[in-house]
């Protein structure tokens, strides 16, 4: 059901009946390592290119999520996925392997919640019995496409972020365990561009989009931040998180009433891992949400959370032509199912 101007409320409360997360070795050294299903020992995953390795990450997380649900891929009606690579090749090639009817998405790093929102909408409406939502990213493949190849060894400014190597997937259904987390609503973001053009300062570029979607969510649903035990943005990291806090306070949104964190600041250990401002990448919010946060929701440690995944909608071509960076954020509210 449409609520307000840009939000959906899911009356049937689609259940996240299973999840799976797969990460690289660097993520396995961070504070959330125990919450991931698979931690790979190297970045190649037995492949001969970074791009092929990224595809494998998505194949593994989607297949494992389906297995955790006690299903076979033949029982799943739709696969919603996307990534950062040109023509979303990681997702499309993974879909080739999975052979599940596929809807490819590009929301950059907002894809985790874009895919979850759309899968929830389809399941809630009866358009599918089972649907998979997910995304992936790989540090070396993304850095090569959007900035400089890892082998180049370029120095990065303090505002830069470190792309997460990983993939997270979830299976949604109206059936399943009563304690499974449920998706209650989603707010679809607008494209916001404040003129930032520096690809090494994504937090500053994306923060206004996160704020716009958060404000729209509260306005459409007529609720306050205190409705949630946790509000988490996708990958604003230190720079963007501070800007978002300042903007929300300036706009009169009482964000301090609740626990506001950022996935990009949670996955790595700033003291031990050199990640500049923090984490980014499609997998950032996906693996933190599906690997860490939903375990807390399932246990009842968190009753209600709002995940606001943020994305920078640039391409290598647009950046080279001097375009600014348009950004977007999608919010999904998830509750304890018990």
**Residue 336 has what DSSP assignment?**
-
CB half-sphere exposure, 120, CA atoms < 13 A: 31
Of 37-41, 102-106, 107-111, 199-203, the least confident: 199-203
Q: Say which residue the tokens 């509210």 belong to.
A: 333
pLDDT in tens, 232-276: 999 999 999 999 999 999 999 988 778 999 999 999 999 999 898
- Report which of 131, 29, 116, 26 is spatially closest to residue 77, judged by C-alpha positions: 131
- List alpha helices for the chain, DSSP H: 50-68, 89-98, 111-124, 139-146, 202-221, 237-250, 282-287, 294-299, 316-320
Taking the whole predicted model, whether its pTM rises above 0.85 is answered as yes
pLDDT value at residue 157: 73
Q: What is the mean pLDDT of residues 194-205?
A: 90
Q: What is the 3-state secondary structure (H, E, C) of 57-111?
A: HHHHHHHHHHHHCCCCHHHCCEEEEECCCHHHHHHHHHHHHHCCCEEEECCHHHH
The Cα 22–Cα 13 span in angstroms is: 27
Q: What is the mean pLDDT of residues 174-192?
A: 95
Domains and CATH numbers, the chain: 2-173 (3.40.47.40), 182-335 (3.40.47.40)
Question: Is the alpha carbon torsion for 93, 94, 98, 101 positive or negative?
Answer: negative
pLDDT in tens, 280-297: 999 999 999 999 999 999
pLDDT in tens, 294-338: 999 999 999 999 999 999 999 888 878 889 999 999 999 999 987
Q: What is the average pLDDT value for the chain, to the nearest integer?
A: 94
Strands (E), 263-319: 279-280, 304-312
Angle at 85 between CA 78 and CA 192, to 5 degrees: 85
Q: Are 82 and 107 in contact (CB under 8 A)?
A: yes
Who's near 235: CB < 8 A, 6+ residues apart?
109, 161, 164, 202, 203, 206, 262, 263, 264, 278, 279, 280, 281, 284, 285, 309, 310
For residues 142-152, one letter each, b for 16 or more C-beta atoms within 10 angstroms of the residue's C-beta and e for the rest, the string is bbbebbeeeee
Q: What is the mean pLDDT of residues 188-193?
A: 98
pLDDT value at residue 153: 60
Q: What is the mean pLDDT of residues 34-40?
A: 98
The Cα 111–Cα 136 span in angstroms is: 9
- Report which of 23, 108, 151 is spatially closest to residue 315, judged by C-alpha positions: 108
The Cα 175–Cα 177 span in angstroms is: 7
Residue 97, both tokens: 């392997």
pLDDT value at residue 160: 82
pLDDT value at residue 147: 66
Residue 16, both tokens: 């996240």
The CA radius of gyration of the chain, in Å to the nearest whole number, is 18
Q: What is the mean pLDDT of residues 118-132?
A: 98
Who's near 34: CB < 8 A, 6+ residues apart?
none
- Residues of the chain with pLDDT > 70: what percent? 97
Q: What is the mean pLDDT of residues 121-140?
A: 97
């Amino acid at each position: 059901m449409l609520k307000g101007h840009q939000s959906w409320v899911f009356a049937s409360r689609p259940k996240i009946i299973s999840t799976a997360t797969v990460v690289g070795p660097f993520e396995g050294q961070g504070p959330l390592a125990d919450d991931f299903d698979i931690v790979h020992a190297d970045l190649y995953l037995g492949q001969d290119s970074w791009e092929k390795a990224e595809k494998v990450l998505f194949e593994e997380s989607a297949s494992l999520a389906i297995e955790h649900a006690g299903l076979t891929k033949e029982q799943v009606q739709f696969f919603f996925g996307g990534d950062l690579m040109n023509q979303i090749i990681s997702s499309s090639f993974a879909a080739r392997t999975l052979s599940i009817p596929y809807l490819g998405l590009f929301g950059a790093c907002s894809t985790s919640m874009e895919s979850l929102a759309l899968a929830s909408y389809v399941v809630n409406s009866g358009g599918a019995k089972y649907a998979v939502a997910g995304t992936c990213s790989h540090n070396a493949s993304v850095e090569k496409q959007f900035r400089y190849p890892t082998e180049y060894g370029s120095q990065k400014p303090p505002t830069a972020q470190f792309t997460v190597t990983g993939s997270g997937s979830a299976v949604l259904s109206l059936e399943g365990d009563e304690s499974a987390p449920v998706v209650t609503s989603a707010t679809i973001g607008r494209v916001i561009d404040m003129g930032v053009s520096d690809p090494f300062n994504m937090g500053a570029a994306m923060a206004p989009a996160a704020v716009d979607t958060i404000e729209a969510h509260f306005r459409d649903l007529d609720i306050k931040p205190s409705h949630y035990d946790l509000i988490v943005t996708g990958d604003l990291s230190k720079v963007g998180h501070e800007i978002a806090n300042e903007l929300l306070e300036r706009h009169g949104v009482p964000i301090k009433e609740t626990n506001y964190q950022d996935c990009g600041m949670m996955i790595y250990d700033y003291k031990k891992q050199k990640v500049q401002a923090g984490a980014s990448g499609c997998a950032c919010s996906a693996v933190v949400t599906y690997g860490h946060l939903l375990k807390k929701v399932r246990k009842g440690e968190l009753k209600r959370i709002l995940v606001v995944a943020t994305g920078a909608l640039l391409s290598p071509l647009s950046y080279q032509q001097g375009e600014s960076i348009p950004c977007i954020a999608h919010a999904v509210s998830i509750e304890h199912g018990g």
